[in-house]
Amino acid sequence: DSRKLAFDANSADHPGDRQVFVASINGDAAHASVRAITSGPGTNIAANWSPDDKSLLYQHTDAQHSADLFVIAAQPGAEPRRLSESMPADMDKSAFVAPEYVHYPGADGQPVPGWLFVPKNLDRSVKHPAIIWIHGDGINQNYDGWHVQRNYAVYYSFHQYLLQQGYVVFAPDYRGSIGYGRAWREAVYMDVGGKDAKDAWMAANYLKTLGYVDPERIGVWGLSYGGFFTLIAVTDEPTLFRAAVDVAGVVDYAMYYEDPYHGGWTASRIGTPEQNPEVYAKASPISHIDRLQRPLLILHGTADINVPYLESVRLIDEGLKHHKGDLMQFMMYPGEFHYFDREHVLRDAWRRVDDFFAANLKPENNSRSSAQ
């Protein structure tokens, strides 16, 4: 109502945690009092008031639990009550790896936040392969545990599988990500595919400082905007990564601008192709696919309206013109949308990614079981 407002925001001292707050407005927004309702580790979002305005219903995730519903009295210090249990009862939660919140130098020396996952009981006296995961949307972030969105929770679960296969996993929150303040969020204006993309792939430099990571066996992959960054990485720094996976990434922002659904989104960030041709050229990895030197797997659904399927088709065609066919693998999923939803599609996609990284990051162990 006009007297109070429930919202969620990242914890200032630990941005991977997100808490629910209540602002008491009482007709004067400039002098509203704000109280934290939830506390502790985890992500708490999407609060809704009960009919009597005394309680809040919200979603919670943490390192041991995927998204569930909780209810809590709308006052500080109240104890939440769980309403659902999404995790299978027989799931061994002790096998889950919680991420470590770290920083590393980014494109211009600014510290970039990121999340480091290290397999349990890893032998740190030897070097292991690593995989960088680049989140999509731009306006998104990683959390200290399971992602609150189903579209990204499935990737988080797959990363837990990869950890059990011996990979170190890293997830950067490059500039443009939410949860780190307005300046960080807006730093991509007129620079899409510039410092933000460099922030993401410079995570490889950080991983190389870890004594237990093999600098010659680092892979990268991403979805949507993260797929776009992956393509920039393998064309701007063609030998930095041993292998890469692009899931439905934009390959040509000039073409993306012409799409009736996405022109406004693009123009609000980098203007028009006529206004900023150099920015568009930089933000279109299809223009540089001739630089590709390492294996690239591309996955895309034909019913994708977020990033039209034709983007990947054009990338494949351009790669063939430059004799890159031996380096490129492509799988299209008929009728699938941007975020892979159907079980048989996810199973096939994860199997392909699993086998692809195993073949390229674990060459001594090509014969292995695939993800089920």
Q: What is the DSSP string of 17-66?
A: EEEEEEEE-TT-GGG-EEEE---SSSEEEEEEE-TTSSEEEEEEE-SS--
Q: Among 85-94, 140-149, 172-181, 304-313, which range has the highest average pLDDT?
A: 304-313
Full residue range of the structural domain in which residue 24 is found: 4-82
Please compute the mean of the pLDDT values over residues 196-213 and round it to a whole number. 97
Please report the pLDDT score of residue 1 as a whole number.
59
CATH of the domain at 312: 3.40.50.1820
Phi, psi of 11 (to 5 degrees): -70, 130
Residues 139 and 213 in one domain: yes
Please compute the mean of the pLDDT values over residues 252-270 and round it to a whole number. 88
Please report the pLDDT score of residue 260 as a whole number.
82
Residues 208 and 311 in one domain: yes
Please compute the mean of the pLDDT values over residues 262-273 and round it to a whole number. 88
Q: How far apart are CA 292 and CA 18, in angstroms?
A: 39
Residue of 271, 267, 175 whose CA lies nearest to 225:
175
Is residue 292 scored above 90 in pLDDT? yes
Total domain count for the chain?
2
Beta-bridged to residue 298, according to DSSP, are 246, 330
Lowest-confidence region among 137-141, 351-355, 358-362 = 137-141
Please report the pLDDT score of residue 369 as a whole number.
38
Please report the pLDDT score of residue 2 as a whole number.
65
Residues 291 and 176 in one domain: yes
Which domain-ending residue is among 37, 56, 82? Answer: 82
Residues 211 and 288 in one domain: yes
74 token code pair:
């709308």
Cα 172-141-303 angle, rounded to 5 deg:
105
Residue of 369, 289, 356, 358 whose CA lies nearest to 324:
289
Task: Kindly report whether the global pTM for this prediction surpasses the value 0.95.
Answer: no
Residues 137 and 67 in one domain: no
Lowest-confidence region among 167-171, 227-231, 253-257, 326-330 = 253-257
Please report the pLDDT score of residue 11 as a whole number.
86
Residue of 111, 77, 112, 115 whose CA lies nearest to 99:
115
Instruction: Give the DSSP H or E segment for 328.
Output: strand 328-333
pLDDT band at 265 (very low <50, low <70, confident <90, very high): confident
Residues 113 and 157 in one domain: yes
Lowest-confidence region among 88-92, 246-250, 298-302 = 88-92
Residue 90 falls inside a structural domain: no
Q: How many CB atoms lie within 10 A of CB 265?
A: 12
Which domain-ending residue is among 82, 105, 131? Answer: 82
Residues 181 and 253 in one domain: yes
Which domain-ending residue is among 22, 53, 82? Answer: 82
Residues 149 and 229 in one domain: yes
Residues 342 and 224 in one domain: yes
Q: How far apart are CA 280 and CA 282, in angstroms?
A: 5
Residue 87 falls inside a structural domain: no
Please report the pLDDT score of residue 259 as a whole number.
85
Residues 102 and 70 in one domain: no
- Inter-residue contact 314 to 286 (CB < 8 Å): yes
- Report helix, strand or coil for 169: strand
Q: Select the more confidently predicted residue: 242 or 95.
A: 242
pLDDT band at 26 (very low <50, low <70, confident <90, very high): confident
- Inter-residue contact 1 to 24 (CB < 8 Å): no
Residue 10 falls inside a structural domain: yes
Residues 60 and 191 in one domain: no
Please report the pLDDT score of residue 371 as a whole number.
41
Please compute the mean of the pLDDT values over residues 158-169 and round it to a whole number. 97
